[in-house]
């Protein structure tokens, strides 16, 4: 069976051009819809791309399904009762889910397209909004980005500390100076560019800027530019009108409109191809968007925060990044130090992660010995705080001792230190070399390795890079 019929329209799940790789993404997806045919189509499609797909016809089961397991992405219908098409039910379940799990990522879906409902849903915390019957490629792409957002939120939560202390573990002099800059810049509407290696906490700084701004009551909309296909860029950021392209059955709000009055965070901006840089610059200069297929500009009021792990100055010199766009986005520039340059924070981070994972896995919280701390301080930490989090998690699970010492930590040797026949080590080394040669450009590195951008992102996450 390659399709099902839904309300006299066929949902086909036999062709997946954008995501032809059969490697499943480590994520649990819960699909909630009162139509069993929709659930069948979703299950058959999504299980090819995610390692766990749950379905339910009754939204009342959501809370029970959340008990005892982490659901990474919720795909929830907005209308359950017969004759209802306002979307109010979906917004109510959105609020219920996020109250149960503050890090939950919810994508709402409906057969009744309405631009205002979409904007309201995203302002109230929905990650995205899709129409039924869906396009397979678009649905898989949307849920893949949503699953990546869930991982990011989990990392941000792990780096948070309870009030009234600072909302970041940042005792080192370098991080204290950054927090002072955040406090000075946040109340303004100045555009901010956050630079730093992967795993240094760029999104956490973006959240702090938004939370301390006058826009805090409005939405913070995050867009991972490295995860959006070039063909979907305009529709995702600027929205589209009904009939703009095949299957554009209704108007759809873009991320700029969803962030109106609030903050738009563009992550991985260094990966944006030059033609799309031009389109983005035009919007930033005019402060208005023209939805795809439309002819009337829509005014937008957003505070822009961007982030990158790439040397944009070098990309400008190479001609791969527009200098006028760089001037536009970096009114204020914040450079986050790598973990190896803020080792004063390492003991507090270790203590926090140990307590965090002890609670998560119902294990005894373990202190670290002086020898263990010395071993951690001697490591280069190419994956920064994210790598440290994975390292402590693994050590806490596998350690049979009352304390964590140097024998509990396993580090992969840096690229070029030795020749190994271990497949995983060699794969990690090749990924690092490709990223270095491409100056961090994901598209170029993926091309060098002969894999897709999505596959490279999976390896970056896998190796803590």
pLDDT score recorded for residue 464: 67
Domain assignment of residue 296, yes or no: yes
Look-up of token digits 């890079």:
465
CB 129 within 8 A of CB 121: yes
> Which CA distances in Å does 322 have to 264, 291, 315?
20, 23, 8
Within this chain, do residues 263 and 347 fall inside the same structural domain, yes or no? no
- The CA–CA distances, whole Å, from 116 to 86, 120, 257, 294 equal 11, 6, 10, 16
The CATH number of whichever domain residue 428 belongs to comes to 1.10.10
What percent of the chain is predicted at pLDDT more than 90? 27
pLDDT value, residue 376: 92
Residue 203 CA from chain centroid, whole number: 9
Indicate if the alpha-carbon torsion angle 291, 294, 295, 298 is positive or negative. Answer: negative
- Give me the pLDDT at residue 293, please: 82
pLDDT (mean) for 348-359: 89
Residue 412: what pLDDT?
A: 55
Last residue of a domain, one of 408, 432, 454: 408
Same domain, 431 and 330: no
**Percent of the chain at pLDDT exceeding 70:** 82
Q: Are residues 313 and 206 in the same domain?
A: yes
Say if residue 189 is in the same domain as residue 321. Answer: yes
Same domain for 307 and 355, yes or no, is no
pLDDT digits (tens, 9 = 90+) for 88-135: 778 888 888 888 887 788 998 877 655 566 677 777 778 888 888 888
pLDDT digits (tens, 9 = 90+) for 182-193: 999 999 999 999
- Residues 62 and 97 sit within 8 Å (Cβ to Cβ): yes
Tell whether the model's pLDDT for residue 283 goes beyond 90.
yes
Residue 265 has pLDDT above 70, yes or no: yes
Q: What is the CATH number of the domain that holds 351?
A: 1.10.8.60
The structural domain count of the chain equals 4
Question: Do 357 and 400 belong together in one domain?
Answer: yes
CATH number assigned to the domain comprising residue 176? 3.40.50.300
70 in the same domain as 33: yes
Same domain, 301 and 177: yes
Listed residues 136, 152, 169: the one ending a domain: 136
Position 226 scores a pLDDT of 78
Q: Tell me, yes or no, if the pTM score tops 0.95.
A: no
pLDDT grade for 197, boundaries at 50, 70 and 90: very high
Q: Is residue 329 domain-shared with residue 347, that is, in the same domain?
A: no
Q: Is residue 16 part of a domain?
A: yes
pLDDT in tens, 129-159: 888 888 888 888 888 888 877 876 665 555 4
Mean per-residue pLDDT over the chain, rounded? 80
Answer yes or no: is 390 within a domain: yes
The CATH code of the domain that includes 89 is 3.40.50.2300
Mean pLDDT of 32-53: 88
Sign of CA dihedral 396, 401, 405, 407: negative
pLDDT bucket at 288, cuts 50 / 70 / 90: very high
The answer to whether residue 414 sits within a structural domain is no
pLDDT in tens, 210-249: 989 999 888 888 888 877 877 788 888 888 777 767 666 6
Instruction: Examine the domain organization and report whether 105 and 170 are in the same domain.
Output: no
418 within domain boundaries: no
- Where is the domain boundary, 81, 104, 136? 136
Instruction: Give the neighbor-by-neighbor strand order of the sheet with 303-308.
Output: 220-224, 263-267, 303-308, 192-195, 332-335
**d(C-alpha 150, C-alpha 213), whole Å:** 24
Structural domain including 427 reads 423-462
Computed from CA positions of residues 168, 174, 178, 179, in that sequence, does the dihedral angle turn out positive or negative? positive
- Whether residue 416 lies inside any domain: the answer is no
289 and 194 in a common domain: yes
Residue 152 lies in a domain: no
How many CB atoms sit inside 10 A of residue 259's CB? 28
Inside any domain, residue 356: yes
Same domain for 360 and 373?
Answer: yes
Give the pLDDT confidence of 12-24 residue by residue, as tens digits: 333 333 333 334 5
The CA-based angle 333-222-240, given to 5 degrees, is 120
Instruction: For residue 406, give the 3-state DSSP assignment.
Output: helix
* Residues 105, 16: Cα–Cα separation, whole Å: 23
């Amino acid at each position: 069976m390659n399709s099902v019929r839904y309300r006299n329209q066929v949902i086909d799940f036999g062709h997946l051009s954008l995501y032809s790789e059969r490697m499943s993404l480590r994520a649990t997806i819960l699909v909630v819809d009162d139509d069993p045919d929709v659930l069948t189509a979703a299950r058959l499609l999504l299980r090819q791309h995610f390692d766990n797909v749950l379905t339910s016809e009754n939204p009342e089961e959501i809370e029970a399904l959340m008990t005892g397991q982490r659901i990474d992405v919720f795909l929830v219908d907005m209308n359950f009762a017969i004759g209802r098409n306002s979307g109010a039910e979906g917004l109510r379940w959105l609020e219920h889910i996020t109250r149960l799990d503050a890090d939950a990522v919810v994508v709402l879906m409906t057969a009744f397209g309405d631009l205002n409902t979409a904007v309201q849903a995203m302002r109230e915390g929905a990650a995205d909004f899709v129409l039924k019957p869906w396009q397979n490629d678009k649905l898989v792409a949307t849920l893949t980005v949503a699953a990546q957002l869930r991982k990011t939120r989990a990392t941000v939560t792990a780096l948070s500390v309870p009030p009234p202390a600072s909302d970041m573990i940042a005792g080192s002099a370098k991080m204290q100076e950054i927090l002072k800059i955040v406090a000075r810049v946040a109340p303004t509407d100045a555009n901010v560019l956050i630079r730093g290696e992967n795993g240094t906490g760029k999104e956490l700084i973006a959240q702090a800027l938004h939370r301390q701004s006058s826009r805090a009551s409005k939405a913070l909309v995050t867009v991972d530019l490295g995860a959006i296909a070039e063909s979907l860029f305009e529709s995702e950021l600027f929205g589209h009108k009904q009939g703009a392209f095949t299957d554009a059955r209704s108007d759809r709000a873009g991320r700029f409109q969803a962030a109106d009055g609030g903050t738009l965070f563009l992550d991985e901006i260094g990966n944006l191809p030059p033609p799309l840089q031009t389109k983005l610059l035009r919007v930033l200069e005019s402060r208005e968007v023209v939805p795809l297929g439309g002819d009337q500009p829509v005014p937008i009021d957003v505070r822009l925060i961007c982030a990158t792990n790439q040397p944009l100055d070098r990309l400008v010199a190479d001609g791969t990044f527009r200098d006028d766009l760089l001037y536009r986005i970096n009114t204020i520039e914040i450079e986050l130090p790598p973990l190896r340059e803020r080792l004063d924070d390492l003991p507090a981070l270790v203590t926090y992660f140990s307590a965090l994972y002890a609670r998560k896995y119902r294990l005894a919280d373990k202190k670290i010995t002086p020898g263990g701390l010395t071993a951690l301080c001697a490591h280069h930490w190419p994956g920064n705080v994210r790598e440290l989090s994975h390292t402590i998690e693994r050590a806490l699970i596998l350690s049979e001792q009352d304390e964590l010492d140097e024998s509990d930590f396993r580090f992969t040797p840096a690229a070029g230190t030795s020749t190994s026949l271990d497949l995983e080590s060699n794969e990690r080394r090749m990924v690092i070399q490709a990223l270095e040669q491409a100056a961090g450009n994901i598209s170029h590195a993926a091309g060098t390795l002969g894999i897709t951008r999505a596959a490279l992102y999976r390896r970056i996450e896998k190796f803590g890079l």
